[in-house]
Structure formats: structure tokens, C-alpha cells
Amino acid sequence: MPLTTIYLARHGFRLNWTVDPHTGTYSATHSSPTGIPSDPPLAAHGVAQSRQLSTYLQSLSSTGESPHIIRIYSSPFYRCLQTLAPYISSLPLSKRLVRGDNGLGEWYGRARFTHPSPAPPESLHGLFDFYDPSYRPNIVPSTRGETIEELHDRCAYAMARIIAAEDDDDNDAKLNGADDGNSGGGERAILICTHAASMIAIGRALTGRMPEDVCEDDFGTFTCGVSKFRRRLKGRSADGGIDHGMLEKWEAGMAVPRLDWRDGKGVSGGWGCEVNCYCGHLQDGKERGWFVFHSCFLSIVCKNLILRWAGVSMMQKFFPRTWCTLTDT
């Protein structure tokens, strides 16, 4: 059976960073294990959330009522990998492997300066032994930033490539006689840990629902919340697989490949959202929700950046529908 279910989680409550809007210099009051100021670890509260998330994810498989998680993907930023660490440590040694994909990474908006990139795979493997250094991302966002539309298309493309790879792995398992009931015979799920803006974009790309107002509060993004998407399984080929069409391979320097996912289509046959950012496993419930996309040329860093760069009165005058207090991504 092709991939049927996707669990999508946001990282836990993190420490903060700031950026000088004139120089593009990022700084933080707490040092990052990666040495990148804009790549902070979780705060103590976020660490506690990650443990609660782990308990919940373990309960999904222990009941036997939920699809088996066959693979784990993550944004390569430290806070996402740290969020997954407690759950990974609960798995058998053979299952402790995470694929880091920049296509699932942070969104910084547009700016005239260079945005940060995550640490290289070899460094991340040194920090997290479960990080797969051999895996190569499907797409890498431009360090000059992305528009809102480019963010959505980047996430759609990354998800389409990930889903196609999982479907191919299922077909290979069948051909090699390795159908063990968890890979091909039963329902199959993957787990993804990402950021707020990317979590919204992924939800829209999977369901094919792109609202007219990009600031619509459609997909929840609470820290360590979990959403569940189930495949509609349209577009099956004659052998029972999914027809992914011609997925162009992204190469460095290329623009984001455009896929036909809008108007309710969704990537890879389309998906329905069965659970929207569940937080019942968290002691303090829903926290740090985020859903507002600001103008494409603004870097989504912190409220102070907008106040210094554009000014409150200008934002209220030209973007009255999107003016609000920013929270972290």
C-alpha cells in the first residue's frame, strides 16, 4: 500500500534571536550548539513539551489503531531535531534515523540580506547520532528569502518528492518480497517536524486548499502540536500505485518547480486533514500559535524588526488586515 498518513508536528518552545535590519546580522543571548545565532535550541519549557510529544507519539503505535510510522523527516534546524530526540530515543536502534530536508525548513520572508542556513548534515550527525548524513534534501530555499507564494510551492514540491520516495520504497519492498505488514500490507505513515509557516504551507499543499486571504487561520501551528493528514488515494495507476506525474528534479540555482496542487487538488493525489494541531498531550495545552503571513518583502523575525523597518503607522495603513503581533516560527 502507498503512503497513507502523514503526522505533522511543530517544534517545541524555543529560545529567541534578533536581527539587525540594517546589516542583516543575527544575534542571540544564548549560544546555539550549531554555532548559528538564528538556530536556537529549545527553551526548558520546549524540552518538557518534547517529552510530552514523545509520550503521545509512542501511544499512537502502542494502541495498534494508528498507522505505523515507517520514517521520520525533519527540518534540519536544531530546534526541530531536538524536539524529536525524546521520541527517537524510545525507538528500536534500527528505527532511530531522521532524514533532514531543507524543503521542510524555516521561512524568513524576503530581505536584502542573506538569510541563515542550517548546519551541514555532517555537523548535525555529530550533534544527533540519529541524523542521516547521507540523505540529500529535495530542495534548498534561497538564502535571499522567499515570497509567500514561493514558500507554498517549495513546501508542495518537497512533500511531493518525499511522498513519491515513500511510495517507491513501498513498491521496492513488494518486489523484493519484504512486505512485513508495516511497509506494504498495512497502512503506512511518516512523521514530519517543521516550523509554523511551513506547517501552514504543507497543510495547504496536501489538501490543495489555498485561501484567497493567505492570513486565514486554517491550519494550527501550536508548539509540539500534531496534525494528521490521510490520503485521498486518487490517481491510482493500473498496478495500484500512485501516479506522481513528471516530478522535475530540482538543482541548485533553479527556481522552485511549480506543481498543480491548488484548487483542491493537493499533492500526490490529495490529502484530507483529520486532526488539526492536536495539543491534548501537552500539559499547558495550546501555546504560541501563529497564522499571519506579512508582506513578502518583510523578514518574519520579530515585532521589533517591523517597528524599526516599516513603522507601525505604515503597516496599519497599507496592511490593515495583516497587522498583528508576531510570534516565533
> pLDDT in tens for each of the 329 residues of the chain?
789 999 999 999 999 988 888 888 899 989 999 999 999 999 999 999 999 999 999 999 877 778 889 999 999 999 999 999 999 999 999 999 999 999 999 998 888 888 889 999 999 999 999 999 999 999 999 998 899 999 999 999 999 999 999 998 865 444 433 344 444 347 899 999 999 999 999 999 999 999 999 989 999 999 999 999 999 975 554 444 555 666 888 998 889 999 999 999 999 999 999 999 999 999 999 999 876 564 433 433 444 444 344 443 333 333 433 333 333 56
> What is the structure's pLDDT at 144?
87
Residue 313: inside a domain? no
Residue 152: inside a domain? yes
> What is the structure's pLDDT at 312?
38
Residue 305: inside a domain? no
Q: Are strands 98-100 and 26-27 parallel, antiparallel or unpaired?
A: unpaired
pTM over 0.95, yes/no: no
> What is the structure's pLDDT at 234?
56
Burial-class residue 82 by CB neighbours within 10 Å (0-12, 13-18, 19+).
buried
Residue 252: inside a domain? yes
> What is the structure's pLDDT at 298?
42
Greatest pairwise CA separation for the chain in angstroms: 65
> What is the structure's pLDDT at 187?
86
Number of domains the chain is built from: 1
> What is the structure's pLDDT at 173?
47
> What is the structure's pLDDT at 23?
86
Beta-bridge mates of residue 189? 5, 69
Q: Which domain holds residue 262?
A: 5-299
Residue 129: inside a domain? yes
Residue 187: inside a domain? yes
Distance, CA of 179 to CA of 173 (rounded, Å): 6
> What is the structure's pLDDT at 146?
92
Residue 323: inside a domain? no
State pLDDT tens for residues 22-75. 888 899 989 999 999 999 999 999 999 999 999 999 999 877 778 889 999 999
Residue 318: inside a domain? no
CATH at residue 271:
3.40.50.1240
